[in-house]
C-alpha cells in the first residue's frame, strides 16, 4: 500500500526559504501525478500546484498565490516530490500536504502533512 | 477561478439520521465530451488529512461505506450520508477539478445532535 510522508516543515523567518519533501513508499511513484496543498490554521484547503508524471513531461502548474515563489519537482529514483518555497510570508503559515492524483485531478491519497510557521 | 460554495457551514444530525451537504459551483463542471462532472468530495476528521470519498460526483472511492453517496450535475451537487454514524464527525469539502486552479468549498462541519 502506498503511503506519503511529508517532512521539512518548521519555523522560518519571513523572506527566508524552505524545502519540503514528500516521500512515497511503494514502487510505482513514477506513475503518479503529484500535487501540493496547504491548510492555514482553522481554515480550508488550498491547492498550491501539481507536477505530472514523466509520461506527461513532468509539467508543473501553480496557484496564483504562490507562482514565482514556490517550485514543485520530483525525483522518481527516490520516490520523492519536493516543494521549494522562497520569499516566505507570514500568510504562508499552514499545514502543507502532498497528495497523489487519481486518473484525473481528484486526490486519492494524502500525506499527514507538515506544519510550516513563518514568523519573526 | 471556479468558486465552490457549500451549505450549510455546519450541521448537527442525530445518530442514524440522514445528513445532506450541498455544493454549488460558480460555473458548470460538467465536461461535455465525456459527460462527466469533475467534482470530488473529501472527509477530514479532526487532526487528520483529507480522505477522498467520492469522485466524478457520484463514484464512491474503494473502501468508503455505502452510506455515503454523491449526486448532482452541472453546478449543483449533494453529498448524502444515509445513516449518520459517530465516526462520520468531520469537516466535508467539495473540490472541482474541471480546471485550474483546483478549488474547494469552504467546508461543512458535521456534528452529532
pLDDT > 90? residue A1: no
Half-sphere exposure of A95 toward its Cβ, with a 13 Å CA cutoff? 18
Q: Please state the separation of Cα A3 from the chain's center in Å.
A: 14
pLDDT > 90? residue A86: yes
C-alpha distance from A62 to closest chain B C-alpha (Å): 8
% of chain B residues with pLDDT over 70 = 100
Average pLDDT over every residue of B84-97: 98
Are B49 and A110 an interchain contact pair (Cβ–Cβ within 8 Å)?
yes
C-alpha distance from B88 to closest chain A C-alpha (Å): 18
Q: Please state the separation of Cα B23 from the chain's center in Å.
A: 7
pLDDT bucket at A35, cuts 50 / 70 / 90: very high
Residue A110 has its nearest CB partner, among B50, B97, B105, at: B50
C-alpha distance from B57 to closest chain A C-alpha (Å): 11
Q: How many CB atoms lie within 10 A of CB A64?
A: 9
**Which residues, listed in sequence order, are joined to residue A77 by a DSSP beta bridge?**
none
Are A46 and B104 an interchain contact pair (Cβ–Cβ within 8 Å)?
yes
Of residues A26 and A106, which shows the higher confidence score? A106
**What is d(CA B4, CA B26) in angstroms, rounded to the nearest whole number?**
6
pLDDT > 90? residue A49: yes
B6 Cβ contact partners less than 8 Å away, ≥ 6 residues apart: B21, B22, B23, B24, B92, B93, B94, B105, B106, B107, B108
Q: A91 — phi, psi (to 5°)?
A: -75, -5
The answer to whether the CB of B70 falls within 8 A of the CB of B37 is no
pLDDT digits (tens, 9 = 90+) for B22-65: 999 999 999 999 999 999 999 999 999 999 999 999 999 999 99
pLDDT > 90? residue A2: no
Contacts of A47 in chain B (CB under 8 A): 100-104
pLDDT > 90? residue B103: yes
Residue A27 has what pLDDT? 72
Of residues A26 and B72, which shows the higher confidence score? B72
Amino acid at each position: 500500500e502506498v503511503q506519503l510522508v511529508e517532512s521539512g516543515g518548521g519555523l522560518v523567518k519571513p523572506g527566508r526559504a524552505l524545502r519540503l519533501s514528500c516521500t512515497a513508499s511503494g514502487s510505482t511513484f513514477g506513475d503518479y501525478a503529484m500535487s501540493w496543498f496547504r491548510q492555514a490554521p482553522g481554515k480550508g484547503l488550498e491547492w498550491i500546484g501539481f507536477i505530472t508524471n514523466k509520461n506527461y513531461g513532468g509539467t508543473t502548474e501553480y496557484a496564483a498565490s504562490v507562482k514565482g515563489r514556490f517550485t514543485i519537482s520530483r525525483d522518481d529514483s527516490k520516490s520523492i516530490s519536493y516543494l521549494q518555497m522562497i520569499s516566505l510570508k507570514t500568510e504562508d503559515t499552514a499545514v502543507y500536504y502532498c497528495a497523489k492524483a487519481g486518473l484525473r485531478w481528484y486526490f486519492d491519497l494524502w500525506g499527514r502533512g507538515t506544519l510550516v510557521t513563518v514568523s519573526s | 477561478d471556479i468558486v465552490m460554495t457549500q451549505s450549510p457551514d455546519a450541521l448537527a444530525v442525530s445518530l442514524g439520521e440522514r445528513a445532506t451537504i450541498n455544493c454549488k459551483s460558480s460555473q458548470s463542471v460538467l465536461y461535455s465530451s465525456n459527460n462527466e462532472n469533475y467534482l470530488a468530495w473529501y472527509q477530514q476528521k479532526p487532526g487528520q488529512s483529507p480522505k477522498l470519498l467520492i469522485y466524478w460526483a457520484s463514484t464512491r472511492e474503494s473502501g468508503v461505506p455505502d452510506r455515503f453517496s454523491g449526486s448532482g450535475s452541472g453546478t449543483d451537487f449533494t453529498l448524502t450520508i444515509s445513516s449518520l454514524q459517530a465516526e462520520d464527525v468531520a469537516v466535508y469539502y467539495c473540490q472541482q477539478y474541471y480546471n485550474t486552479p483546483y478549488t474547494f468549498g469552504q467546508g461543512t462541519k458535521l456534528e452529532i445532535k
